[in-house]
Structure 1
Amino acid sequence: MPRRMTDFLDEAVKTHPDKVAFTEEERSLTYKELQEEAYKIAMPIIKAGFRKKPVALYFDKSIYCISSMMAVAYSGNFYSVIDTEMPVERIDKIFDVLEPELVITDLKHFEKAKDFFCEEKIIVVEKLDASEISEKAIENSKAKVLETDVLYVLFTSGSTGIPKGVVTPHKAITNYVNSFVEAYKMDENCIIGVQIPFYYVMTALDIYGTIAVKAHAYLIPKSKFMFPAYLVQYLHDNKINLLSWVPSALCMIANTNAFSVADLSEIKTVIFGGEVMPIKQLKAWQKAVPGAKYINGYGSTEITDGCTYYIVDREFNDEDILPIGIPFSNSDVLVIDEEGNPITEGVGELVIRGDSVTYGYYKDPKKTAEVFIQNPLNNCYPETVYRMGDLVRFNKYGELEYYGRKDFQIKYMGRRIELGEIEANVSSIDGVAENCCVFDSVKKRIILFYSGSIDEKELLKVLKTKLPDYMQPRKVNYLSEMPHNQNGKIDRKFLASQI
């Protein structure tokens, strides 16, 4: 059983050395070529002589980024992927926390990298020489890596304006990979279409899942997502059969009815996560690609992406809540009330335990202690669990249902309201493409932002048949296009800043 992520690649090279692992516009690499490239990049890191230290990766979504991830792991250090479209000011904030020893980048981004890091400590992958590889040095380095060592630190937004770095060890990602491979029935026949940027936690499946099952992944160019018709044609031409995308990317195809461009019957598995998948657009996918299995994946960066999943196995009304399902193997869930007591009925906060729980926040013990807590059901020995900050409840099938963030729950007109419930009902209305609710705490009102073809008066008229008066938005803003952040999610923070 692989214990470190590099073990998965080593195993793939032994069994499938000449199989193509990853394809991008410029090139493809087999598993053997991927390992050789990783070795080449690992050598200057090993020669630098440091271990268990941070290394920043500054690439677009590319094979060079993947081989650099593996290189850092082989060297016994850990990486952080930096968004190349991120302002230098935010990179500086991340580096103030991370204090990386090196930056690895490519020629395309070398000049820009010099704006925030000293040139002497920047490694440019195209300038490295394969003749420098020492397999003995690689093996010696690899032998010292433990499954409890850190693989990466992934930075997310912090409420204070300081990015939070989530510290993820090898054992967390290997446990998670083994769990979703089993749950999703992934194997070497998977052809994966990669949508997610590599600084986002959902790439665990795209990158490490691909390597674990010796599959083939296509890094879909960002430009394809600007034109749904071209995107559908790309999926068809490359016979892609597995998607793990954020819902807004799937909704883009559904909302434009781009299914008619090409036959997508090769797709056998569609996984969505990161935000709520609207039932209406899910139905459009089910109608267009009826032979596929649809899976709602749920989790967060702090638990190595996923902790529960639901394979869609029944019909839903447009305003229904899609379950987030059951825990992956080797994971467990608790639901606690406001006093921290476990409950089995009603809405409470979700708590996760298991090997996929990460170590906490980099150089931030105070923030870590707030949400990485002692298991409230265990007072006999140390056992860290993670408080999700998400509100859930068990349905009659024993599945979990998501009711929104604790910080999306508002107290309005004497009642507790989940903004996510309003959004689900708005999504069910014909003519609505996307929507988001925010609460104006100054004027004490619910504000709805939406895009689509329906006008505001008609939308509110239909919504009055679906929701009680106290849940009705008091202001509606139509947008020709909803704003999205770099992860492809609706940009709630930006919308909240507009009220």
Structure 2
Amino acid sequence: MKLLNQVLTQGLVRAGEQALAVSDSTESYSYGELQLRATQIAVLLQKIGVKAGDRVGLWCDKSCRALAGMLAVSKLNAVYVPIDPMNPKVRVDIIRQDCDMKVLITNKAKFSQYQRGDNALCDFVVLDEDALISSVLHVHTWQHISAQQPSQLNLPKEGKSTDLAYMLYTSGSTGVPKGVKISHENALAFIEWSTNKLNATVQDRFANHAPWHFDLSVLDIYVALLSGASVHLVSEIDSYVAQKLVSFVAQKQISIWYSVPTALVMMLEAEADFAERCQQLRAIIFAGEAFAIKPLKQLREAFPDAELYNFYGPTETNVCSYYKVPRVVPDKLPIGYPASNALLSICDEQGKALPVGEQGFVTVIGPTVFSGYWGRAELQSEAYNTGDIGYFNELGELMYVGRQDHMVKVNGYRVHLGEVERAIYQHPAVKECLVELSSQKTLHAHIAVEGDAPSLLTLKIHCAKRLPKYMLPEQVIVHDALPRNRNGKLSRQCLSGLSAQSGSENNTQITMSEA
């Protein structure tokens, strides 16, 4: 297998046309129905003019229809670009323009934000049956999709494994999101490795907890489809409502779960009978952030017979290492051993490999490593420096230490502090700004202002027009001036000291209670 668009065909052969492929809160598709809808959407996209290599956005809530749209893009050897459904329109348009998007697949509520003058950027495919038709905007609705004849699809010539399959936009150091380019080879190396590692079969039932712009979702969707299993979509609204998640796993009889640790900890704390109700879980995988040892031991005790996996890897490499958690959880959790046929090394700043026990940059070579960011120069070396600091212990296990730069994790999402600062700087009252990650893993904004300081609520509303929800500050601390280093640059190193002094005569703290 070389191309991502062949995954659905493989699953259909293994499971049969009548087997359940995907379900959401309102409908479900068999493998035959998913193939039909994906083909109909592909026909429509082809009529619009989408061809191999074109970028097609997905800005919509999870649904069976949206998944069919994703697969339709792959059928045309085009590139799909999933966008956070919670993103404000301003950020969506930045992404659309950055990658020269040909079509945006969306829903009626989001499409309604576009006015008649917004039609120049791309066509729209709206996945609702009663979507409002505009005579000016180039818009195509579900009625148009349902009218398409699958036989009209002109399959493009087979592409290369190195062609782009999709792009995931991440927070950028310059304040502008950047597109991580993932080829068919990159994606399939991870998908096939995961399918084998999990021994996935047609009997399995996957939960898709992660949003589609988050790389965790690749396993949920494609390992399920490749193996002929079913995937059940967790709505964004319910994704962090612990009681609903437990009920979802129990009612859908989920056998394989993959999420950030935060979701699992919430489920453990909220439902005492979580394990009793969900004993069918045979594999529980977590990634995206560190799992505190105490709740991990509770999870291990609750599911003694389940396979527990710690997966590691930035978006640029997908999963490049893994650790299978033993019955007795170690006090220091490794990120483990090479995954997806990766080669891992610990290097210094010059790229020289370091010996066992010495800390350095986690560096990856392998088939899942991306080729570069959209619109930027290709990588000059096949070895990718993750920017994470780690070391190999005496057992040969890779251990994680922390980030080297100003990229942080918030609820499993990578956030570059510079992008949050750039949004805050656009408030007219803010003259200086530095953002830090607190010990509670929330974003704190340190600001100096001209005139009256904005309240936390005001600043959150301001930022919500430019940033996704997980990048909004949860606390604001106002200072007369922010600290600078000897070179005159604002200094993050002094922020922890200033936070400890908050409430003193030199600064004022604004908390959520004021909102």
The equivalent residue for 1:380 is none
Instruction: Establish whether residue 363 from structure 1 lines up as the match of residue 375 from structure 2.
Output: yes
- Two-structure CA RMSD over aligned residues (Å): 3.2
Q: Aligned-pair distance for 1:108?
A: 4.2
Q: Aligned-pair distance for 1:128?
A: 2.3
Q: Aligned-pair distance for 1:132?
A: 2.4
Instruction: Establish whether residue 332 from structure 1 lines up as the match of residue 348 from structure 2.
Output: no
Instruction: Establish whether residue 39 from structure 1 lines up as the match of residue 59 from structure 2.
Output: no
The equivalent residue for 1:323 is 334
Instruction: Establish whether residue 313 from structure 1 lines up as the match of residue 303 from structure 2.
Output: no
Moved over 4 A (4+): 113-117, 489-493, 495-499
SS at structure 1 position matched to 2:211:
coil
Do 1:373 and 1:386's aligned partners in 2 also have CA atoms closer than 8 Å? no
The C-alpha deviation readout for 1:140-164, integer Å capped at 9, x for no partner, is: 32x3322221111110000111101
Structure 1 stretches lacking a partner, 5+ long: 375-383, 410-418, 421-437, 452-484
Provide the TM-score with structure 1 as the length reference.
0.76
The one-letter code matched in structure 2 to 1:280 is: K
- Matching residue within 312, 315, 318 for 1:298: 312
Alpha carbons of structure 1 residues 262 and 234: separation in structure 2 relative to 1, 3 Å = farther
SS at structure 2 position matched to 1:147:
coil
Do 1:56 and 1:80's aligned partners in 2 also have CA atoms closer than 8 Å? yes
The equivalent residue for 1:133 is 149
Alpha carbons of structure 1 residues 91 and 279: separation in structure 2 relative to 1, 3 Å = same
The one-letter code matched in structure 1 to 2:148 is: E
Rounded to whole Å, the distance in 2 between the matches of 1:497 and 1:230 is 32
Q: How does 1:164-313 map to 2 (within 5 A)?
A: 164-259=178-273, 263-303=277-317, 305-313=318-326
Do 1:391 and 1:403's aligned partners in 2 also have CA atoms closer than 8 Å? yes
The one-letter code matched in structure 1 to 2:395 is: Y
Q: How does 1:420-435 map to 2 (within 5 A)?
A: none
Rounded to whole Å, the distance in 2 between the matches of 1:295 and 1:228 is 21
Do 1:40 and 1:128's aligned partners in 2 also have CA atoms closer than 8 Å? no
Provide the TM-score with structure 2 as the length reference.
0.74
The C-alpha deviation readout for 1:192-238, integer Å capped at 9, x for no partner, is: 12211111111110111111111111112334345422321221122
SS at structure 2 position matched to 1:196:
coil
Query: Aligned residue pairs: how many?
Result: 417
Do 2:242 and 2:263's aligned partners in 1 also have CA atoms closer than 8 Å? no
Q: Aligned-pair distance for 1:495?
A: 6.1
Of 400-409 and 208-217, deviating more is: 400-409
SS at structure 1 position matched to 2:273:
helix
Rounded to whole Å, the distance in 2 between the matches of 1:181 and 1:167 is 22
Do 2:53 and 2:164's aligned partners in 1 also have CA atoms closer than 8 Å? yes
Rounded to whole Å, the distance in 1 between the matches of 2:115 and 2:338 is 44
The equivalent residue for 1:149 is 163
Do 1:232 and 1:261's aligned partners in 2 also have CA atoms closer than 8 Å? no
The one-letter code matched in structure 1 to 2:325 is: V
Rounded to whole Å, the distance in 1 between the matches of 2:48 and 2:147 is 17
The one-letter code matched in structure 2 to 1:315 is: V
The equivalent residue for 2:444 is none
Q: Aligned-pair distance for 1:492?
A: 7.9
Instruction: Establish whether residue 450 from structure 1 lines up as the match of residue 466 from structure 2.
Output: no
- Seq. identity, %: 27
Rounded to whole Å, the distance in 2 between the matches of 1:198 and 1:158 is 19
- Matching residue within 107, 121, 125 for 2:123: 121
Do 1:59 and 1:106's aligned partners in 2 also have CA atoms closer than 8 Å? yes
Rounded to whole Å, the distance in 2 between the matches of 1:321 and 1:31 is 43
SS at structure 1 position matched to 2:112:
helix
Alpha carbons of structure 1 residues 222 and 89: separation in structure 2 relative to 1, 3 Å = closer
The one-letter code matched in structure 1 to 2:78 is: N
Of 210-219 and 107-116, deviating more is: 107-116
The equivalent residue for 1:74 is 75
Do 1:103 and 1:117's aligned partners in 2 also have CA atoms closer than 8 Å? no
Do 2:240 and 2:263's aligned partners in 1 also have CA atoms closer than 8 Å? no
Do 1:54 and 1:77's aligned partners in 2 also have CA atoms closer than 8 Å? yes
Q: Aligned-pair distance for 1:385?
A: 2.1
Rounded to whole Å, the distance in 1 between the matches of 2:228 and 2:239 is 26
Instruction: Establish whether residue 29 from structure 1 lines up as the match of residue 29 from structure 2.
Output: yes
Q: Aligned-pair distance for 1:191?
A: 0.9
The equivalent residue for 1:84 is 85
Instruction: Establish whether residue 494 from structure 1 lines up as the match of residue 466 from structure 2.
Output: no
Structure 2 stretches lacking a partner, 5+ long: 128-141, 410-416, 418-431, 442-463, 478-498, 500-515
Q: Aligned-pair distance for 1:54?
A: 0.8
Rounded to whole Å, the distance in 2 between the matches of 1:312 and 1:239 is 23
Do 2:300 and 2:327's aligned partners in 1 also have CA atoms closer than 8 Å? no
Alpha carbons of structure 1 residues 76 and 261: separation in structure 2 relative to 1, 3 Å = closer
Do 2:361 and 2:389's aligned partners in 1 also have CA atoms closer than 8 Å? yes
The one-letter code matched in structure 2 to 1:494 is: P
